[in-house]
Structure 1
């Protein structure tokens, strides 16, 4: 088994009124990927999309910081993360192996802003779908970052905050926390 971890730190905390943080563990065997994420301080009673992001060409992804706010609106939106973090790759939802990203089957924080997520994923199916999308079966977890997204629909966001994915607006896709995945064994 190979183990990867990420310390998930706040992003956009000064604008959203919470300081989302937590940890992630990804344990890889020959047949399964077990994903465990625990988050604290997220916007309460809100669904939180969570994914790993990266570059299809294998470049190492880095976490976004306030420096990525290129339009100066005070928010680092989904589109602004792409220069350092790449694209959304694998969702941490009810079936990561399907790589179906825009939907409403992600964890929902409780009234205290806490949620815990664990999923055991069949590795071969995930690798097949990953290869179909990105040209390689190698997940390269230590070259990826994890993003947690989502703020309440009533939070005032400027029009400059981009993030529409299908029928989901920037409230759903706004990053609230990020962590670099590192191999620990």
Structure 2
């Protein structure tokens, strides 16, 4: 059994008016990956995309901070996280092993901004899809970071905030919290 965890800290909290935070636990046991994520103080009554990000070449990803706001617009947007965190890899939605990132199958925060996500994922299916996408079947969780995304449409985002994906706006993809995944056992 392998166990990984992440302490998820706020990102963009001054700009969005809430300090989203939480924790994640990843347990690899035999042929399954169990994912548990608990979040607090996220924008309420809103779906929140969540993923692990990393570098396909195996470099160690780090969390983004305000230092990644390279255009100085007051927001660290999704493209600005790439320099330190890499690319979006595996979604934490209703079927992580399918690696279908832009969809509406992510957790929704309650009226208090809290949500919990638990999913047992078939590791062989996830590894196969991961290898087809990134040419490597090793998830390397301890080289990844977790991001939580999403703000309400009434948050005033300047035109300089980038990261729209398909028909999903920058309000959906804006990172609101991040955590470094570390090996525990």
**TM-score calculated relative to the size of structure 1:** 0.99
1:56 paired with 2:68, answer no
The CA distance in 2 between the partners of 1:170 and 1:47, in whole Å, is 14
Gaps of 5+ in 2: none
**TM-score calculated relative to the size of structure 2:** 0.99
The residue aligned with 2:25 is 25
Deviations 1:99-158 (A, max 9, x none): 000011100000000000000000000000000000010000000000000000121100
- RMSD between superposed Cα atoms in Å: 0.4
The CA distance in 2 between the partners of 1:61 and 1:30, in whole Å, is 26
The residue aligned with 1:73 is 73
The residue aligned with 1:126 is 126
Gaps of 5+ in 1: none
The residue aligned with 2:165 is 165
How many residues of Structure 1 are paired with residues of Structure 2 in the alignment?
A: 185
Secondary structure, aligned partner of 2:165: coil
Runs of 4+ in 1 over 6 A off after TM superposition: none
The CA distance in 2 between the partners of 1:138 and 1:105, in whole Å, is 25
CA displacement at 1:30 relative to structure 2:
2.3
